[in-house]
Structure 1
Amino acid sequence: MNKDGLEFAATFDQVFVQQNGHRGHFGRNVLKGLVDGMDSFLEEKRRTPGFRSMGPVALGGFLWLDDPELAACLARFAHTCVVVSKQGRSKRDLDKLGKLQPFADSDNGMLARVFAELTDLDWREEGRAKVLGPGAPMPDVVIPPLRTIGFRRQPKKDMVPFLHTKMMLLGELWWHDEDALGGVADVIGFRPERLWVGSANATARSRHNLEFGMWLDDPHALQAAQTFLVQLMAHSEALDPDSDLFQPELLPVDFDDEAFAEYAAEYGWGAPDA
């Protein structure tokens, strides 16, 4: 029931079980199905972690997130990143952002090197891509747990394009000490296992609406969701970025070709620290 005492009847509520055993939900408080499913996944990984597990992962994309139960559940994942639409700068918006800052500052962000699409990205430096020379290490970025994307709508202006998905991808990080050719290496990967899709925003208010949501484990859906969510992370910004426009904070690094040519002329193409 909302603060005005308005509430839909329970007759709309429906839970169904799919052939794969996963649940789907229609009606009120559909977000409970998301949180319950995440809790069950955490318990499953606690009991039977995968081979060389580095812990459970939750990646999400929502219009907005403020539900306390969902935020608390995300905090229990070893690694997480949820991308939401960029918010405005009104007093109400700033109050909303302030409440989520502790979550955005927590230490269970996502390791960028897990995904090939993110391995050459690094934070902007004075508005530009970082430049690497011989001997400089490749970036090892950790993307914070809560990010934004898109354009900031200005007061009394038309709507802007915004992120409108409501999805959560659960999986597990794993590590290995050999690369694809059998050489000694420090390899980390992500295994997607479960996908939530629906209509409900990740907000406390959504619990009073009529919504739907369901869990999937179709391999094609998992892979497509992973690709989409990784792109969200790659193009994301901080919780309250300065720019009103779409201006990702991560950029592919540039290489100092002249410095590399000079190094090669003097030392050959061996490793810079050889």
Structure 2
Amino acid sequence: MRALGWLREDRKPLLNAKLLVLGHLALNVYDPDNGYGEEVLDFEPRTVWWGSANWTVRAGSHLEVGFACDDPTLVEEATAFVADVIAFSEPIDTTCAGPEPNLVQVEFDDAAMAEAMEEMAEPDDDGEDW
């Protein structure tokens, strides 16, 4: 559970989106040139649910409505929206008065990583390359 918005500010907007992206996990192998690849567990979105449900104790006494849709364009856009919200959100127990996102994208320097791996590699006992 994460939070997004301003703490105790009447005039600041709060996120009030009741939206779920449903899908399944798939084990995919990403490999260069049909060699040995890296196995990655990916979430593959399939359906979007949205509605008025608050999922609180009082929800049982409310008239709620919800819809599900598997339109690929809507699923893609909703997934992007949820990913943006998660990236901009913060832990639920935050004490910050305003939004202070703590999840950021990381840019990797692939050339530097490859160079570092070469430096760390130990030579073979017989001196021959594989």
| Smaller-chain TM-score bracket | 0.7 to 0.9
Deviation readout 1:93-132 (Å, 9 max, x if unpaired): xxxxxxxxxxxxxxxxxxxxxxxxxxxxxxxxxxxxxxxx
Q: Which of 3, 7, 11 is residue 159 of structure 1 equivalent to? A: 11
* SS of the residue 1:220 aligns to: helix
Say which one has the larger Rg. 2
Asked if the contact 1:166/1:202 (under 8 Å) is kept, the reply is: no
Moved over 4 A (4+): none
Structure 2 length normalisation: TM-score? 0.74
Shift of 1:180: 6.7
CA distance in 1, matches of 2:28, 2:64: 41
CA distance in 2, matches of 1:169, 1:254: 26
CA distance in 2, matches of 1:181, 1:171: 29
Matched, 1:271 2:123: no
For structure 1, the 5+ residue unaligned runs are 1-145, 258-263
Q: Which residue of 1 aligns with 2:5?
A: 150
Matched, 1:207 2:85: no
CA distance in 1, matches of 2:107, 2:77: 29
CA RMSD of aligned residues (A): 2.5
Q: Larger relative contact order (C-alpha < 8 A, sep ≥ 6)?
A: 1
* SS of the residue 1:210 aligns to: coil
Shift of 1:237: 0.6
CA distance in 2, matches of 1:170, 1:252: 23
Shift of 1:248: 0.2
Q: Which residue of 2 aligns with 1:231?
A: 84
Q: Which residue of 1 aligns with 2:20?
A: 168
Report how many aligned residue pairs link the two structures: 115
Shift of 1:179: 3.2
Deviation readout 1:217-250 (Å, 9 max, x if unpaired): 1111111111011111111111111211111012
CA distance in 2, matches of 1:227, 1:192: 10
CA distance in 1, matches of 2:90, 2:61: 30
CA distance in 2, matches of 1:163, 1:190: 24
Percent of aligned positions that are identical: 35
Shift of 1:181: 4.9
For structure 2, the 5+ residue unaligned runs are 119-130
Structure 1 length normalisation: TM-score? 0.38
